[in-house]
């Protein structure tokens, strides 16, 4: 039977890391790369048998997940976020898949997300296919600070059962994540030479709301769909507004030279 490594990155995830690790009970090893947790994340992970690697710096989501990948030794790698977990049927399917001599080099699967405890069935959040299982040596995360994805060399198959995801716990969590992800995305856009302004930020935010709530049928999720659309709009506005500020600072530096 091929050996399977579970990899997870974490920071202050004591409320969810236990559920995540326990759900992958069948993994031959669990690697958790922690970035300065001040709660019980590390203690919980170690108590469940995980190999915890602590890093003082934060290079971005892609590079951090590649650190976890580099620490894994299994023939196959399963990557989960700390706020994700798998149910027994998917666990059984993963075990059968990696035992198949004709298996593909990687597999994507749908992700079922929750916003404030409610499952999001539309809004572009479902089925949200993500590649999370691959042969070690055949896949690696894109070296980007946010919205990282796995790039697989070879054939990618699809598993029908979903990963479960507690995307947003409450409105405070929504505000925190929108702020952190927007800052990382704005930094990446600035490095790419992209330009923005306050007006562009407003227009893009409005478009994000309409795309989520109307075009992607978020309205079918009722109040939850409205909250998701508002969250996407808020994140979008912050991202492009922060980029506009970065552009202005860069312009000021050029003038002062």
Task: Say what percent of the chain tops pLDDT 90.
Answer: 91
**Same domain, yes or no: 250 and 152:** no
Phi-psi region of 185 (alpha: psi -120 to 50; beta: other; left: phi over 0): alpha
Cβ atoms of 129 and 67 closer than 8 Å: no
User: Quick one: DSSP state of residue 129?
Assistant: -
pLDDT, residue 249, reads 86
pLDDT, residue 217, reads 98
**Same domain, yes or no: 154 and 174:** no
**Same domain, yes or no: 27 and 65:** yes
**Torsions phi, psi for 174 (to 5 deg):** -60, -45
User: Quick one: DSSP state of residue 220?
Assistant: G
Give the whole-angstrom CA distance, residue 129 versus residue 108: 6
* CATH number of residue 145's parent domain: 3.90.550.10
Query: Which element (helix H / strand E) includes 250?
Result: helix 222-256
Q: Is the pTM of this model over 0.85?
A: yes
pLDDT, residue 89, reads 98
pLDDT, residue 250, reads 77
Range of the domain at 221: 170-256
**Same domain, yes or no: 127 and 153:** yes
**Same domain, yes or no: 91 and 185:** no
Average pLDDT over the chain, rounded to an integer:
95
**Same domain, yes or no: 73 and 101:** yes
Domain finish residue from 167, 187, 214: 167
Give the whole-angstrom CA distance, residue 30 versus residue 44: 13
Domain finish residue from 112, 143, 167: 167
Give the whole-angstrom CA distance, residue 197 versus residue 65: 32
Q: Where are the alpha helices (DSSP H) in the chain?
A: 17-23, 41-47, 61-71, 88-99, 171-191, 198-210, 222-256
Query: Which element (helix H / strand E) includes 5?
Result: strand 4-10
Confidence of residue 248 (pLDDT cuts 50, 70, 90): confident
Domain finish residue from 148, 167, 186: 167
Confidence of residue 147 (pLDDT cuts 50, 70, 90): confident
- The number of distinct structural domains making up the chain is 2
User: Quick one: DSSP state of residue 218?
Assistant: G
**Same domain, yes or no: 184 and 72:** no
């Amino acid at each position: 039977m091929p050996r399977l490594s579970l990899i997870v990155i974490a920071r202050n995830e004591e409320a969810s890391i236990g559920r995540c690790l326990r759900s992958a009970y069948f993994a031959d090893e669990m690697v958790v790369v922690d970035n300065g947790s001040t709660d019980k994340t590390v203690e919980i992970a170690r108590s469940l048998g995980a190999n915890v690697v602590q890093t003082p710096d934060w290079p971005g989501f892609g590079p951090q997940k590649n650190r976890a990948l580099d620490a894994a030794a299994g023939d196959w790698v399963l990557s989960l976020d700390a706020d994700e977990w798998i149910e027994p049927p998917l666990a059984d399917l993963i075990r059968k898949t990696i035992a198949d001599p004709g298996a593909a080099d990687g597999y994507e699967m749908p992700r079922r997300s929750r916003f404030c405890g409610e499952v999001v069935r539309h809004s572009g959040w479902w089925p949200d296919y993500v590649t999370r299982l691959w042969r070690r040596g055949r896949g690696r995360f894109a070296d980007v600070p946010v919205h990282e994805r796995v790039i697989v060399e070879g054939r990618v198959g699809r598993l029908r059962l979903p990963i479960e995801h507690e995307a947003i716990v409450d409105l405070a969590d929504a505000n925190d994540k929108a702020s952190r992800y927007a800052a990382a995305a704005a930094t990446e856009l600035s490095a790419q030479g992209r330009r923005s302004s306050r007006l562009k930020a407003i227009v893009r935010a409005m478009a994000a709301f309409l795309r989520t709530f109307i075009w992607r049928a978020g309205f079918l999720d009722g109040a939850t769909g409205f909250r998701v659309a508002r969250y996407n709009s808020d994140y979008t506005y912050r991202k492009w507004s922060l980029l506009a500020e970065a552009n202005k600072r860069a312009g000021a530096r050029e003038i002062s030279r």
